[in-house]
Amino acid sequence: MKQIQHSGLQWVSNNSTLLLFAVAIALFGILSPAFLSFQNAFNILVQAAALGILATGMTFVLLTAGIDLSVGSIMFLAGVISGKMVVDGAPLWWAGLVVVVIGLEFGCLNALLIYRLKVIPFIVTLATFYVGRGLGLFISDTRAINLPESFLTLGSGKVLGIPLPVILLFFVITLAHLVLTRTTFGKHIYAVGHDPEKARKAGISVNRILLGVYVICGFCAALGGLVAIAQLGAVSPTFGLQSEFMAIAAAILGGVSLFGGRGNVFPGTLIGVLLIQTIQNGLVMVNADPYLYPLITAAVIFLVVGIDSLQNQRREKAKRLGLK
């Protein structure tokens, strides 16, 4: 009997995010019937698209025990440059391409500094965070850029009745899931994240893996930025601020470890993203004080991280004692 109770408790703490997600849905559903509408479910997905894409990229980096603080700046810089281009009459696809290239370049820069010069990811990406945002502000002259109609249609467009951002989100998540579970590269990411030294011994080129994950993260940041501005219709100087933290939080909520090697994009990170977005949306639906949003979101993250840390302590001890 005791054994069953114990494992039940374990299940709860192992799936704290999923549970919170269910609780959140039930709670908001009771408080506001409109919350449970089909339309609102789509709303949540649309609003989650940008963060979801961002967090997917972040998951790759976190899996190697790295961190990328520069994603918000990449979003911003990509938004500013593409916005300027479109305003100046460049075609949309050309701007989109430039956005992607910026994301890739920033990812390369991060990765090169990390593995060539052996500076820790935190400092490297903190620096590129400031350089990127500074550059963006320099180019935009700190002005907001209002985008033409064509951008907005990208954000609100639908294919077969499904909003474009949602399609993009699911495409990115499916691809990421495939890469992580079905390719050598994906398996090597987990290996490097667990122990780079062991990975090297197993004949894995750690540098190539690092390059790969930061490039993917940069790419996702740019893409996420594109999705976000296509919904906003404008790039303000505060665009993307703190996005990196939300992306990290979403991934951590989804069970990704800051210390590498543990976690997945699907269902992990996706659930984390949906939890955050559901809370945000639900608070709106029940007409909560908007100033409470960050408080509640932060409290939820704190809770999940706390539970995970206790879990982790237990795992470590079990590992040391050779138990399962």
Site for another protein in 237-276 (CB under 8 A): 237-239, 245, 248-249, 252, 258-259, 261-262
- Closer Cβ to another protein, 98 or 305, answer by number: 305
Tell which positions 19-78 bind another protein, by CB under 8 A: 34, 40, 43, 67
Inter-axis angle of helices 92-116 and 121-140, to 10 degrees?
150
Cis peptide before 196 (omega within 30 of 0): no
Please, which residues have CB within 8 angstroms of residue 253's CB and are 6 or more apart in sequence? 17, 271, 272, 275, 276, 300, 301, 304
Residue whose CB is less far from another protein, 27 or 258: 258
204 touches another protein (CB under 8 A): yes
Q: From 3-11, 97-105, 191-199, 216-224, give the range in contact with another protein by CB under 8 A.
A: 191-199
Select 97 or 299, whichever has its Cβ closest to another protein: 299
Q: By CB under 8 A, how many residues form the interface with another protein?
A: 96
323 lines the binding site for another protein (CB under 8 A): yes
Tell me the closest approach of the beta carbon of residue 5 to another protein, in angstroms. Answer: 17
Q: Is 312 a residue that touches another protein (CB under 8 A)?
A: yes
Min separation Cβ 324 and another protein, Å: 6
Site for another protein in 110-169 (CB under 8 A): 113, 117-120, 122-124, 126-131, 133-138, 141-148, 152, 155-156
Report which DSSP code applies to 202: T
**Which residues, 89 to 108, sit near another protein by CB under 8 A?**
none
Q: How far is the CB of 115 from another protein (least distance, A)?
A: 12
Beta-carbon contacts of residue 131 (< 8 Å; ≥ 6 apart): 73
From the CB of 96, what's the least distance to another protein, in Å?
19
Residues 214-233 that bind another protein (CB under 8 A): 231-233
Residue 118 neighbours by CB distance under 10 Å: 8
Buried b (16+ CB within 10 A) or exposed e, 155-189: beeeeeeebbbbbbbbebbeebbebbeeeebbebb
Is residue 319 involved in binding another protein (CB under 8 A)? yes
Q: Helix, strand or coil for residue 117? A: coil
Per CB under 8 A, the segment of 97-105, 206-214, 215-223, 302-310 that binds another protein is 302-310
Which candidate, 162, 178, 164, places its Cα nearest to that of 266? 178
3-state DSSP helix/strand/coil % of the chain, to nearest 5:
80, 0, 20
